[in-house]
Amino acid sequence: MDELFTPISTTYLKAAKDRDGEPLFTESKPSGHAQTPAQPVQITTPDAALDGLKAQPDYDQLILILKYLCRSPGATGSFSLHTPSPTSAAIIHTLVTEIAPNYWTLFQEHSNEDDAGARDLELFVDCLRSVAGINALVANVKALLQEIKLSARDSKRPDSKLHISIFIELLATVLHGNGAIRRVWAASTTGLPTEALRTAQSQSLLSILTSGKLLSVAAEAAAVIGRDGVKQDRRWLADGPDFSRWLGRNIVACVRSQHQEPPVLFGSSLFHRGLSLGYADSLIETLINDLLLHRDGDPELFGSVCLSSPSQTRKVLANLLQHLSARFLDNLAPQEEGSGPTIAAVAGLIHSVTKGHDSRVQELVRWCTSASGAGLGHATALRRSVIAVLAQDRDIITDVLEKSLAQFGDELYLRHAAILQQDVHAEILLLSAGYVSRASPVKLAMLLRSSAYLGSISNRIAATQVRARFLGMVVGEVLSSLVDSKGQKLDFKMEELDTEDAARLKALAQVKDVVGSSEVLLGPELPVVHKVQTTSQRSKPPKKKPKPALEPITAVKPRAIIEIVDDSDEEEDDDLVPYAKGSDPEDSDDDATLVQRNKLRPPVYVRDLINYFRDSENYDKQKLALQTAPSLLRRKANYGTEVSAHADELANLMVAVQDKFEMEDFDDLKLQSLVALVASQPKTMGPWFARTFFQGDYSLSQRTTILVTLGLAARELAGYDEFKHQVDAFASKRLPEKIERLYLSDQAHSNTVLGSDLKALPPTALDNVTRSLTSTFLEPLAAEAADSSLGPDALKLQTFTKRYKSSAAKKPRVRAIPNTTAALLAGSFFSPLTAHFQVALRSAKPVVLNQVLLGVYLQTLGVIIHAAGPSTLSLPQLTSELWDLLLSVRQHVLGALSSLKGWLVAMSSLIAVNEGDMRGLCQSQGRQVVETREWVSGVFERTRGDDGGEENDVKMLAAGVLIRLGEAMEKYQALLMGDMIGF
């Protein structure tokens, strides 16, 4: 075995006798010279600075290196850290990868202690305030995110998320403030020898800010490290709207600092490329507020920055008009005395932006006369302001009148345009006619004798839609009154022309607005742009006040104790029942420190409810607001103007509220609150929700909630009893408590949980409604099919059809009172949804064409038209508008069962409400009937429906529509013969 072991080394120890004289302990003597701490090495070259950073410097050495790097180029020779070079790139890479993870926390701690620490932090941030620094930070965050994605769960670096949070906070600090982009741009371009290098640096900065790379990386990092991993004042970097507003404020600071050409051109490029981030409304609104609506605003500068690109001028002007209307004009009453100065001021602001630029004026003309323009959904005051600006030139306002009149009588426009769109174009026509009659009466008289005018009025009077004929008669009478003498004026002598709506339209021709000064619209001056606020510049915590000296405790004189002896029988206490332990749910927690003693009280005013919704970080307030909102809004719907005055603000808060705390029944409570708001203020909230669905910056789930809210609110206003709510009366309308007990049962006074008196809405409330509508539509067809398959009726005791009719609930009789609910649903719910839909189809990427949203949208239209019922006077108009809309979206619903089902639900509701007048339907919509049956038959043949589920529902609905339309065509085939020949 000895040959298997090979010695590696041999050690010999002293023998014990040799170690006997050595002491066990030896005295340690200090050396002659004490070690002195290493002095910081002076840095004189960039290579020395790079070597010092790589050598793991201490704090003092690092500060010395940073001071060298932040010197001006003259003090460091020709080297500049912000000038692109291999050395500067290596230094920035080292600062980001080596120094930042080790020293960032220390910099923050020192910055909170004294001013010297704040200056040290500012030195480090200044070194990275360049294009190369931002790129390095973004690249490192992206690399760490990629590493987390690719690595296994058990092999992830534990410090990855910590480094990501450090880099995100450092990046937010570098970019924080309204002048951050201007400083980065100036630092990156100053000192470059050629224009080509400066242009390249500018393009690099534009690319990283507006390509979406910075925003997407920050958002992904925030999602990985969690909401708590990013500080509250740093979350703007990962939020799209907040990032766009920050970008807008920086553009304003960049162009306002110097009115020279390079900063303005850079700001203009930054603005136009920033529109592609997807948050154009937030960006444009920020520049409007900071460059136009301030005392120190500059319309010329706004035009140079925002209107320099012809391709974006149309979008910017449309957003400008929309913002001015929402902020100043939409809340003005039509006949309000103070509305004149406001309209004149808005006109003056628009004129200051467009004067001297023919292309911008032509965009205003196009806005007035385009098929989707004229400010649909906004007040008449906006159209008055725009027409007042265009009326400054007689030729331009005449051109507006001619184009409006030609469009007003176009047969295709008359047949397919939404009725609300025709309303706003009629207002433009009447306003422009009034200005032309005063500026050039001969021109207006010649126009009224032309064939275009006569054809327009003839087409309007011959229209099948009631509202279209009404607008034609109003325009005819108004234009005739402006030109013809009193005896020759056109007068149709119709009752509907004496209504308040007709009087409002006729008065538009007499309106004469002026272009005034925009001073009344301007806000305070912009604050001075301060230096970037870093962590070091945070306000120091206030010093604690010294506690007051405690007063000496005086001796308390003893008092006589009087004992009260009760001689009553102690057996009387035997009937008393002690309280059970844990009876109070607030005291059920074992830890007494966790018991909440300061209970919140339910809000009793709408302004308190708004404050509760605003506090999105407070769980108790959010829950209490959602529970209280439905009953509070219904109770105060007709009690003063408290709800109507705060309806817009409340709607914005409730639509945007999110389930941060994972509440139970959050979706149901939110839906109940929204339905209560719309049902309490239908005339204003119906159009608001319809406009918000198409124009607001909301997610798919929030847009779906808006549609469901409109559908359920329409059902509630129509009187359907799916959603019963118990509303307590005001205290002033209640009996005194002692007397109330005599009349009300004890059950009414039982303790109930707040909000438990509301009937909970099911998760798919709109789906349940549509299911009931389709079952009502299909059950008679199923009964008839069963009868036909079981032989002749003479051999049956009772047919399925008769059995169904006897078991079905009796239909309510037609009311003798006017059906105001149907008119309300048609004007405030149905028409805004269809009008904005046609406008959305002309946009680049209409969000409504999402397959899920499109299906819910069509279902909502079907629910609304069914809620309006067959007794509405505007049913022919609603039928024509909805049928044209359904035929126009056929190519978008094919291939998607959800949207196809919504299409068939809307069509079945349309047929159901017209069931009593199928002859009139075939007479007015003959071509649509034939075309629809042909298309639905193809859908029925292509759909299998054997496996059940949604595909089976689609096939059943298609069969029902086919049978109903087939019966109508067979019964009224002689009436349809003309349309069928041309089909």
pLDDT, tens digit, 9 for 90 and up, residues 317-369: 999 999 999 888 887 765 544 468 899 999 999 999 999 899 999 999 999 99
* Rounded Cα gap, residues 684 and 149, in angstroms: 49
534 near 366, Cβ under 8 Å?
no
Would you state the pLDDT for residue 952?
A: 83
In this predicted structure, what is the pLDDT of residue 72?
60
pTM, full prediction: 0.76
Sign of the dihedral through C-alpha 207, 213, 219, 221: negative
The pLDDT confidence band at residue 752, using thresholds 50, 70 and 90, is: very low
At 312, is the pLDDT very low, low, confident or very high (cuts 50, 70, 90)? Answer: confident
**Torsion sign over Cα 643, 645, 651, 654:** negative
Residue 296 sits at the vertex; the CA angle it makes with 294 and 302, to the nearest 5 degrees, is 80
Q: Report the alpha-carbon distance of residue 407 to residue 371 in Å, rounded.
A: 8
Summarize pLDDT for 359-405 with one digit per residue, the tens.
999 999 999 999 888 888 888 999 999 999 999 999 999 999 999 99
Rounded to an integer, what distance in angstroms lies between the CA atom of residue 309 and that of residue 268? 9
At 254-303, the pLDDT tens digits run 888 765 667 888 889 999 999 988 888 899 999 999 888 888 788 899 99
At 695, the amino acid letter reads: Q
Q: Say what the pLDDT of residue 232 is.
A: 81
Over range 861-866, report the average pLDDT.
Answer: 91
Please give the Cα distance from 418 to 877 (Å, whole number). Answer: 10
**In the 8-state DSSP scheme, what is residue 294?**
B
Q: Which residues contact 304 (CB under 8 A, 6 or more apart)?
A: 255, 264, 268
Position 368 scores a pLDDT of 93
Whether the pLDDT of residue 305 is over 60: the answer is yes
Report the half-sphere exposure of 494 (CA within 13 A, side-chain side). 16
Question: pLDDT per residue over 420-436, tens digit each?
Answer: 899 999 999 999 999 99
How far apart (Å, rounded) are the C-alpha atoms in residues 977 and 922? 11
pLDDT at position 364 is 94
Percent of the chain with pLDDT over 90: 29
Mean pLDDT of 691-702: 87
The continuous run of DSSP H or E covering 969 comes out as: helix 949-971
Ramachandran area for residue 377 (φ above 0: left; ψ -120 to 50: alpha; else beta): left
Mean pLDDT of the chain: 79
Q: Which helix (H) or strand (E) holds 884?
A: helix 875-888
- d(CA 823, CA 820) in angstroms, rounded, equals 5
Tokens read off for 491: 């007068």
Please give the Cα distance from 748 to 744 (Å, whole number): 7
Greatest extent of the chain over all pairs of C-alpha atoms, in Å: 147
Residue 112 has pLDDT above 60, yes or no: yes
Residues 130-186: pLDDT tens digits?
999 999 999 999 999 888 887 655 555 667 888 899 999 999 999 998 889 989 988
**Maximum average pLDDT range among 277-286, 428-437, 487-496, 769-778:** 428-437
Average pLDDT over residues 537-553: 42
Task: Quote the percentage of the chain above a pLDDT of 70.
Answer: 75
Helices within 95-239 (DSSP H only): 100-111, 115-127, 131-150, 160-175, 180-189, 195-210, 213-225
DSSP string of 772-814, one letter each residue: HHHHHHHHHHHHHHHHHHT--GGG-SS-HHHHHHHHSPPPPPP
Q: Residue 23 and residue 26: Cα distance in Å, rounded?
A: 7
The length of the chain is 983
Convert 853-875 to b/e letters by CB count within 10 Å (16 or more is b): bbbbbbbbbbbbbbbbbbebebb
| pLDDT at residue number 950 | 78
pLDDT for residue 823: 85
The residues with which 108 forms a beta bridge, in sequence order, are: none
Tokens 């404020």 map to which residue?
Answer: 249
Q: Higher confidence at residue 982 or residue 467?
A: 467
Tell me the CA distances in angstroms from 880 to 96, 351, 833, 869, 902, one per residue in order. 65, 40, 15, 15, 18
Instruction: Check if the beta carbon of residue 130 is closer than 8 Å to that of residue 170.
Output: no
Helix or strand holding residue 556 (H, E): none
Close Cβ partners of 4 (under 8 Å, ≥ 6 residues apart): none
Please give the pLDDT value at position 659. 86
